[in-house]
Chains A and B, each alone.
Chain A
Amino acid sequence: MDHSHHKEISHMAHNTTVPSHHHHPTTSASHSHSHGGGMGDMMMHMTFYFGFKNVELLFSGLVINTAGEMAGAFVAVFLLAMFYEGLKIARESLLRKSQVSIRYNSMPVPGPNGTILMETHKTVGQQMLSFPHLLQTVLHIIQVVISYFLMLIFMTYNGYLCIAVAAGAGTGYFLFSWKKAVVVDITEHCH
């Protein structure tokens, strides 16, 4: 009997790119007495806009001021979103491969009429300290960080950058799940 097993539920229930909500630092609160969104809020956009002047992106030194810089940022965000989709699919296939080993564990249980029955437990999973599980954990952290970055980028409300996120996600999904789609496991629902 091996108790060092870590049972993992092998169904990907998390959704795509929207992580759980977070509290964003704000400049001014909009109370019920203010007129709509744009008035009391000078620094952060609260509606979609198209522009490339003075666009702050994630980090304090990263400010876009020209069309060329916006084009570069578009490409970078596009690639980041594509990489995110690829990472998701890579993790799924890695998980599936490392769960090929199935352990059967039989234990006696009392049955009716005083008989002893053998109950067999099937465990599909990974050991805690195994390399696949550690790798999955590292990849998970990277995936979470990138998903938050994409969320923060979308939160700039800049139309160009939002389109870059959406297009990158679509392209990444198209390219990377091409092969994956051939192996369809219908018990896995929802991404």
Chain B
Amino acid sequence: SKMHFIFSNEVVLLFDFWSVHSPAGMALSVVVVLLLAVLYESIKVGKAKLLYQAAVSLSIPTSQLTEETDQDSSGSDSPPVSRTRLRWFFCHFGQSLIHVVQVVIGYFMMLAVMSYNTWIFFGVILGSAVGYYLAYPLLSMV
């Protein structure tokens, strides 16, 4: 017996508790999957923007990090340098966490499509389209 796409109001998605039997439940599941796909595309754009903003903000000369430097530090600027490094570390760590979320959501979407339920598949595709449409123009905005 072969697997193929079917139209059905019954599916079990990802977890045992996510069991759908009715058209209402299916509609809700499609909406959830759609939002998941929108989130996935947004995270991709968000990661790139965060990286850009972090690089921009950390290439500012340390004398202009006004919220961190003291006004009376005449000669030494070593505290701002180490604070910059620390900020960069936290920023990069945050990026890595976002990356994990992106990877997991990507796999969840793959597994959802693997249910071979056509409504769910449409939800993933539509969500990817909407997410891409809304998020990608934000890349060129500074």
Contact = CB atoms under 8 A, between A and B. Distances in A.
A181 B92 contact: yes
28 contacts: A16-B99, A17-B107, A26-B2, A29-B3, A36-B10, A36-B11, A36-B21, A37-B115, A47-B12, A47-B14, A47-B18, A151-B107, A154-B107, A155-B110, A162-B107, A165-B103, A166-B100, A169-B100, A173-B96, A173-B100, A174-B96, A181-B51, A181-B54, A181-B92, A182-B55, A184-B52, A184-B55, A188-B48
Interface residues of A, number: 44
A171 B107 CA distance: 17
B84 interface: no
Contacts of B20: 36
Interface in A118-151: 151
Interface in B122-142: 136, 139
Given A31-B6, A36-B12, A16 B111 contact: no
Given A178-B92, A189-B48, A190-B44, A166 B21 contact: no
A167 to B, nearest CB: 7
Nearest to A41: B12
Nearest to A191: B44
A46 interface: yes
Given A29-B2, A46-B12, A155-B110, 15 more contacts: A16-B103, A18-B110, A21-B110, A21-B114, A24-B3, A37-B12, A48-B14, A48-B15, A154-B111, A170-B96, A170-B99, A170-B100, A171-B96, A177-B92, A182-B55
A166 B103 contact: yes
A189 B15 CA distance: 33
A186 interface: yes
A34 interface: yes
Contacts of A151: 107, 110
A23 interface: yes
Interface string B18-46: 11110000000000000000000000110
B114 A155 contact: yes
Contact of B10 (A35, A170, A191): A35
Contacts of A35: 10
Interface of A: 15-18, 21, 23-24, 26, 28-32, 34-38, 46-48, 151, 154-155, 157, 162, 165-167, 169-171, 173-174, 177-178, 181-182, 184, 186, 188-191
Contacts of A155: 110-111, 114
Interface of B: 1-4, 6-12, 14-16, 18-21, 44-45, 47-48, 51-52, 54-55, 92-93, 95-97, 99-100, 102-104, 106-107, 109-111, 113-116, 136, 139
Of listed B12, B18, B97, B139, residue having the most chain A CB within 10 A:
B12
